[in-house]
Amino acid sequence: MLTCRNFYDHVSGYYEKMIDYEKNLQLRIDAYKNIFPINGKVADIGCGTGLDSVALARNGHTVTAFDISPNMISELKKKAIKENLQIKAYVNSFKTISQKYNYSFDYVVSVGNTIAHLRQSELKKSFLRMHNLLKPGGKLFLHILNYEKIIMGSKRINNIAYRDGLTIIRFYDFLKSYLNFNILSFCDETPKEYSLVTTKHFPHSINTIKNCAKYGRFRKINFYSTFGLDKFNQNESKDIFILLKK
């Protein structure tokens, strides 16, 4: 079992091979134009290799990115240089982001299931931290998998990707109070030489998120099923997208 930091340091080199990067980038570019129609300062927490940061920067926002993994931040910095994007990037978790950023951002985003890495007690404090980062009237946009649907359906396999001769399988082990999140990867030519890494996910429910948002002093919260802000359906939606206002 790896810590969140070590887990993402390990997978940073092939992280983007788990998705169709260009397709997901364009999806975000289009979606964020609707979610944040006025350009502003954005904090991207749990930025990974920078998919959302790049989309937001291309849309004209001023982006400051944070991630607990030094390797992920390194990948983002390389990407920003390559694309000539002005993205500031720092190695920080929710709880270590400097107080100097309080009331600095028009928007905060934390997508890609980032908040599933937090225990409920940590999630409450993180909502309060994100509230403090925002200017008055600022918006917070979050994403987490719909774990109630996943657990009810006992769906262990989250995704299988085949890219550049590499197979990457993301799957769960269901335990009492949390899930083991596993990534199995191997070259198709040498499948016996595989890598398996594991970390914890905490399956926060809608009610838990509502309670944490209330603790964080957010005054408005809406739930959606997609980046396009389609209506959320508890029994059908794979994802939960959350838009909150300070």
pLDDT in tens, 181-220: 999 999 999 999 999 999 999 999 999 999 999 999 999 9
Strands (E), the chain: 41-45, 62-67, 87-91, 105-110, 134-145, 157-163, 166-174, 179-187, 194-201, 220-224, 239-245
pLDDT in tens, 26-61: 999 999 999 999 999 999 999 999 999 999 999 999
pLDDT in tens, 108-162: 999 999 999 999 999 999 999 999 999 999 999 999 999 999 999 998 999 999 9
pTM above 0.75, yes or no: yes
What the block records as the tokens of 74 is: 């390194």
Determine the Cα–Cα distance for residues 110 and 126; give it in Å rounded to an integer: 11
CA torsion sign, 103 to 244 to 150 to 165? negative
pLDDT class for 15, splitting at 50, 70, 90?
Answer: very high
Other C-beta atoms within 10 Å of 149: how many? 17
Determine the Cα–Cα distance for residues 36 and 30; give it in Å rounded to an integer: 10
